[in-house]
A and B are shown apart, each in its own frame.
Chain A
Amino acid sequence: MIQFSPEKINKVNEIIARYPEGKQKGALIPLLHLAQEEFGGWLDAPVMDYVASLLDIKPIEVYEVATFYTMFNMKPVGKYVLEVCQTGPCMLRGSDQIIDHIKNKLGIKAGETTADGLFTLKPAECLGACGYAPMMQLGKFYKENLTIEKVDQLIEELRAAAATAN
């Protein structure tokens, strides 16, 4: 059953309280972030329906918003999503080579997930780290000033972390 833990429900109520009475829909995007983190890294229809019920709005109001914003995944993704910036300023500092390297190393195309379910490559548009390019977003944080060596090292570390977790 899709339901937030009591702890997360407290967080949900705290977020909703930031908006005036009757304007609780304002909490939609923050709640979608919370739901995506909690329920497997993507937003399945039942998850979105659940968010709609929390805000007392129609499911379609959630679907139309979730599909508009790029941070919400509409299909399952790997354990680690490598969001490599490909926009102009990063391109000037070699993001094309970083993306190509990841494709070759992991044997996947942009938007695909490795067979072991560990990695998804999601080329991203400008993430506001242009001075520290090339870069990628990994979960909550940025990995900046990337080189081929740093990417190799990162992938090894993530593989090791996943192996330990299992």
Chain B
Amino acid sequence: MKLLLEKAHIEGIRYYDTYRKNGGYSSVEKALKMSPDEIVEEVKKSGLRGRGGAGFPTGMKWSFLAKPEGVPRHLVCNADESEPGTFKDRYLMEFLPHLFIEGMIISSYALGSNTSYIYIRGEYAWIPDILEQAIAEAKEAGWLGKNIKGTGFDCEIYVQRGGGAYICGEETALIESLEGKRGNPRIKPPFPAVQGLWMRPTVVNNVETIAAVGPIITMGGDEYAKLGAGRSTGTKLISACGNLNKPGVYEIDFNLSVEEFIYSDEYCGGIPNGKKLKACIPGGSSVPILPANLLLHESNGNKRLMNYESLSEGGFQTGTMLGSGGFIVLDEDQCVVRHTMSLAHFYNHESCGQCSPCREGTGWMYKILKNIEYGKGKMEDIDLLWDIQRRIEGNTICPLGDAAAWPVAAAIRHFRDEFEWHVLHPEEAQTRNYGLAHYAEPRTIVAAQ
């Protein structure tokens, strides 16, 4: 069942008239007849979890918002989408801007935000034009501005471009950036819900989270919560990339198996050139990489499903995370050491530099990985890498430290033999890849069932 992308195929859906003719803005109509607290209650009942990566319950986040008398509150949408492998919010904003703006209006009304901001990554330079047009159209139709539809509620939405910094996807760094500062995360507490943008109570939500609010109001929180699996309610956008026949953005049911998602023609259509699946990072580059056998099955042998619980089954020993839904697939020809090196370079480049474990550690990890990849590594370097990542994790102000540590830890945990092979065969490693080695061949597993 599609809730977000249901109308994506309709010609001209980007524009207000077409969107409205196809049932658009009926959720705002309904919401404006409810009280703000009733909307918060529906979102709580829906079980919606933050779609940016952390998966924190949205209704609960909203209920933490402080409401001191006479102090303005703000809704800030995190459209800084920068986690490697993730490009779903871009799709929503580019092709379904009004679905997103509908969610922004309802959420602003529910939270009492008269001025809401959309903070979008600077590189998506053409998207603010699309959003600003949608906002202007909504305002023209009376869904934004002063005294919206006679409710007495005023609301303006502004779009701000960032300047190119992964760290600004962290909510307190985003707030700093919105205030015109460097994107250095703040120490929590105080949490943004109490002191956020300009020290005012602030809620920061991801684009996909906000886009889901409209459908939740339309169908009711209880109905939304019936979709999905367990605590993974509703639907999720997955941005699939890497070695796939049909990379792209898909809306999935949380009961879908990972295997079906990769191989069925309805989704990614398998791996090009008949190659085998080697590994996958299913939730954006910072979540642990899993080898094919663990990816397709939980440790108890059950099929692994595309939801929060199933993907994290077994903790980091045998599982990973759904994260942002940035689904990166590596085929048999890919080198795990090289890929990990690339990610280590990314995190080193993106560290804001506030905390020494992250600022220094990410650089050390990159240099060591580069040595191993280019045939200059030693066996003890592998243990050194493990040691460094362990000392970064949990020792930084924001989660970028963990995000940098986890990919390295998981690569060593599951592919240690590949690192060792690089050290033992420095010259061979320059001309060919380690390939599949001992990992299970996924096609055989499929046939056996």
Chain B neighbourhood of A125, CB < 8 A:
84, 166, 345-346, 349-350
CB of A147 closer than 8 Å to a CB of B: no
Do A128 and B86 have beta carbons less than 8 Å apart? yes
Select from chain B the residue with minimum beta-carbon distance to A137: B123
A65 proximal to B (CB < 8 A)? yes
Contact between chains at B249 and A131 (CB < 8 Å): yes
Question: Per-position contact with A for B64-103: 1 when CB-CB < 8 Å, else 0?
Answer: 0000000010000000011111110010000000000000
A79 at interface (Cβ–Cβ under 8 A)?
no
Are B346 and A69 neighbours in the complex by a CB distance under 8 Å?
no
Please determine whether B198 and A131 come into contact, CB atoms closer than 8 angstroms.
Answer: no
Q: A residues within 8 A CB of B180?
A: 25-29, 55, 57, 61, 65
In the complex, which residues 225-242 of chain B have their Cβ closer than 8 Å to any Cβ of chain A?
Answer: 239-242
Contacts between chains A and B (CB distance < 8 A), count: 147
Closest CB of chain A to B441's CB: distance in Å? 20
In the assembled complex, the Cα of A33 lies from the Cα of B342 at a distance in Å of: 28
Interface string of B180-219 (1 = CB under 8 A from A): 1111000000000000001000000000000000000000
Q: Is the CB of A88 within 8 A of B342?
A: yes
A69's partner among B72, B82, B165, B328 (CB-CB below 8 A) is B165
> Is B239 within 8 A of A88, CB to CB?
no
B394 within 8 A of A: no
Partner of B163, one of A23, A68, A93, A129: A68
Which positions 84-142 of chain A face chain B at CB distance < 8 Å? 86-89, 91-93, 124-133, 137, 139-141
Which residues of the other chain, B, contact A133 by a CB distance below 8 angstroms?
A: 241, 247
Cβ of B87 and Cβ of A130 under 8 Å apart?
A: yes
A60-96: contact bitstring with B at CB < 8 Å (1 yes, 0 no)?
0100110011111000000000000011110111000
Interface size, chain B (Cβ < 8 Å): 57
Which residue from A57, A71, A88, A130 sits with its C-beta under 8 Å from B247?
A130
At the interface, yes or no: A18 with Cβ under 8 Å from chain B?
yes
Contact A128 B339 (CB under 8 A): no
Task: Establish whether residues B164 and A69, one from each chain, have CB atoms under 8 Å apart when the complex forms.
Answer: yes
Name B160's closest neighbour in chain A (CB-CB).
Answer: A30
Closest A residue to B247 by beta carbon equals A131
**A87 engages B163 (CB within 8 Å):** no
Knowing A65-B163, A140-B126 are in contact, say whether A130-B239 is a contact too (CB < 8 A). yes
Does B163 contact A32, Cβ atoms closer than 8 Å? yes
> What's the least CB distance linking A108 to chain B, in Å?
20
Interface centre among A124, A125, A126, A139 (most CB of B within 10 A): A126
Check if B240 sits within 8 Å of A92, measured CB to CB: no
Task: Contacts A91-B338, A92-B242 given; indicate if A130 touches B84 (C-beta within 8 A).
Answer: yes
In the assembled complex, B162 has its CB within 8 A of some CB on chain A: yes
Within 8 A of A (CB), among B316-355: 326, 328-330, 334, 338-339, 342-343, 345-346, 349-350, 352
Q: Are A128 and B338 interface neighbours, CB within 8 A? A: no
Residue of A nearest to B91 (CB): A131
Cα A127 to Cα B123 with chains together (Å):
7
A126 adjacent to B346 (CB under 8 Å): yes
Task: Give Cα distance in the complex from A88 to B166, angstroms.
Answer: 15
Minimal beta-carbon separation of B352 from chain A (angstroms): 8
List 17 A–B pairs whose Cβ atoms lie within 8 Å, in order of A's numbering: A26-B179, A29-B161, A33-B163, A65-B181, A87-B342, A87-B343, A87-B345, A87-B346, A88-B281, A88-B339, A89-B326, A91-B342, A92-B243, A93-B243, A130-B241, A131-B87, A139-B125
- 12 additional contacts (CB under 8 A) given A30-B160, A91-B339, A141-B126: A29-B161, A33-B122, A68-B165, A69-B183, A71-B122, A71-B163, A87-B343, A92-B329, A125-B345, A126-B83, A126-B346, A130-B239
A residues sitting closer than 8 Å to B (CB atoms) are: 18, 20, 23, 25-30, 32-33, 55, 57, 61, 64-65, 68-72, 86-89, 91-93, 124-133, 137, 139-141
Q: Residues on B close to A: CB < 8 A?
A: 72, 81-87, 90, 115, 117, 121-126, 158, 160-166, 177-183, 198, 239-243, 247-249, 281, 285, 326, 328-330, 334, 338-339, 342-343, 345-346, 349-350, 352
Name the 3 nearest CB pairs between A and B, nearest first: A69-B163, A28-B180, A71-B164
